[in-house]
Chains A and B, each alone.
Chain A
Amino acid sequence: MSLQQLNSTGFEEIIYDNCEPCLVIFSKKECHVCKEVVPMLEELKPQYDEKFGFYYVDVEEDKELFQRFSLKGVPQILFFNNGEYQGKVAGKVEEESVEEKIAEVLGV
Chain B
Amino acid sequence: MANSYDLIIIGGGPAGLSAAIYGGRAKLKTLVINKGTIGGLVDTTREIVNYPGYIQVSGPDLMKDFKEHAEHFNVEFLKEEVISVDFSQEDKIIKTKKGKELSAKAVILACGSEPRILNIPGEKTLRGSGVAYCATCDAEFFEGEDVVVVGSGDQAVEEGMYITKFARKVTVIVLHDEGVLDCNKVSAERAFNNEKMEFIWNSTIEAVLGEENVEGVKIKNLKTGGSSVLTCQGVFFFVGMIPSTHFLKDSGLETDKRGYIPVNEGMETNLEGIYAVGDNRVKYLRQVVSAAGDGATAAVAAERYIEELNYFNSNIVQSDKKILLLFFNVLVNESIEFSTLLEGLISENGDEYKIFKVDMATKKNLAGKYQIEKVPAVVVLDKGEEIKRLDCSMDKEQLKSQLS
Known: A31-B138, A72-B130, A72-B213. 7 other contacts (CB 8 A): A30-B137, A31-B136, A35-B36, A71-B128, A73-B128, A73-B137, A73-B138
Instruction: Check if A91 sits within 8 Å of B35, measured CB to CB.
Output: no
Q: Which listed residue (B37, B129, B141, B233) contacts A35, Cβ 8 A?
A: B37
Per-position contact with A for B122-149: 1 when CB-CB < 8 Å, else 0?
0000011110101011100110000000
A90 and B129 in contact, given A35-B37, A72-B213 (Cβ under 8 angstroms): yes
- Point out the residues of chain B lying under 8 angstroms from A88, CB to CB: 128
What is the CB-to-nearest-CB distance from B138 to chain A, in angstroms, rounded to a whole number?
4
Q: In the bound complex, do residue B214 and residue A72 qualify as a contact, i.e. CB atoms below 8 Å apart?
A: yes
Q: Which residues of B contact A75 (CB under 8 A)?
A: 128
Contact indicator per residue, chain A 30-42, by CB within 8 Å of chain B (1) or not (0): 1111111001000
**Does A70 reach chain B (CB closer than 8 Å)?**
yes
Q: Give chain A interface residues in 60-108, CB to chain B under 8 Å.
A: 66, 70-76, 88-91
In the complex, chain B residues whose CB is within 8 Å of the CB of A72: 128-130, 132, 138, 141-142, 213-214, 233-234
Find B134's partner among A31, A36, A71, A89 (CB 8 Å cutoff). Answer: A31
Q: Is A28 an interface residue (CB 8 A)?
A: yes
B79 at the interface (CB under 8 A from A): yes
CA distance A35 to B137 in the complex (A): 11
B137 near A90 (CB under 8 angstroms)?
no
Q: Which of A30, A32, A33, A73 interacts with B141 by CB under 8 Å?
A: A73
**A91: chain B residues within 8 A (beta carbon):** 127-128
* Residue among A30, A39, A73, A90 with most chain B CB within 10 A: A73
User: CB-CB < 8 A to A74: which residues of B?
Assistant: 137-138, 141
The DSSP consensus for interface residues of chain B is mixed
| Cβ contacts A to B, 23 pairs, < 8 Å | A28-B137, A30-B137, A31-B134, A32-B36, A32-B44, A32-B134, A34-B137, A35-B43, A36-B37, A39-B79, A71-B128, A72-B128, A72-B132, A72-B141, A72-B233, A73-B127, A73-B137, A73-B138, A73-B141, A74-B138, A74-B141, A75-B128, A76-B128
A82 CB to nearest B CB, Å: 22
Query: Across the two chains, which residue of chain B brings its CB closest to A93?
Result: B128
A28 to B233: give the CA distance in the assembly, Å.
21
Instruction: List the interface of chain B (C-beta within 8 A of A).
Output: 35-37, 43-44, 79, 127-130, 132, 134, 136-138, 141-142, 213-214, 233-234
What's the nearest-Cβ distance from chain A to residue B65, in Å? 18
Which residues of chain B are near A76, meaning CB under 8 Å? 128
6 tightest CB-CB pairs across the interface, nearest first? A90-B128, A31-B137, A73-B138, A35-B37, A73-B128, A72-B130
How far, in angstroms, from A71 to B137 measured CA to CA in the complex? Answer: 13
Assuming the contacts A30-B136, A32-B44, asked whether A73 and B37 have C-beta atoms less than 8 A apart, the reply is: no
A46–B129 Cα distance when bound, in Å, is 29
When distances are taken between beta carbons in the complex, the residues of chain B under 8 Å from A89 are 128
Bound CA–CA A35/B134 (angstroms): 13
In the bound complex, CA of A71 to CA of B126 (Å): 11
CA distance A88 to B213 in the complex (A): 13
Expressed in whole angstroms, the Cα–Cα distance for A32 and B214 within the complex equals: 23
Q: How far is the CA of A28 from the CA of B395 in the complex (A)?
A: 78
Contact B213 A32 (CB under 8 A): no
Residues of A within 8 A of B129 (CB): 72-73, 90
**A-chain residues with CB within 8 Å of residue B130 when the two chains form the complex:** 72-73
The smallest C-beta distance from B77 to any residue of chain A, in angstroms, reads: 13
A33 adjacent to B134 (CB under 8 Å): yes
B227 to chain A, nearest CB (A): 24
Q: In the complex, how many angstroms separate the beta carbon of B190 from the nearest chain A beta carbon?
A: 23
Say yes or no: A32 contacts B43, CB within 8 Å: yes
Q: Is there contact, CB below 8 Å, between B141 and A71?
A: yes
Instruction: Note all chain A residues with C-beta closer than 8 A to B37.
Output: 32, 35-36
Partner of A36, one of B36, B127, B213: B36
Residues of A within 8 A of B136 (CB): 30-31
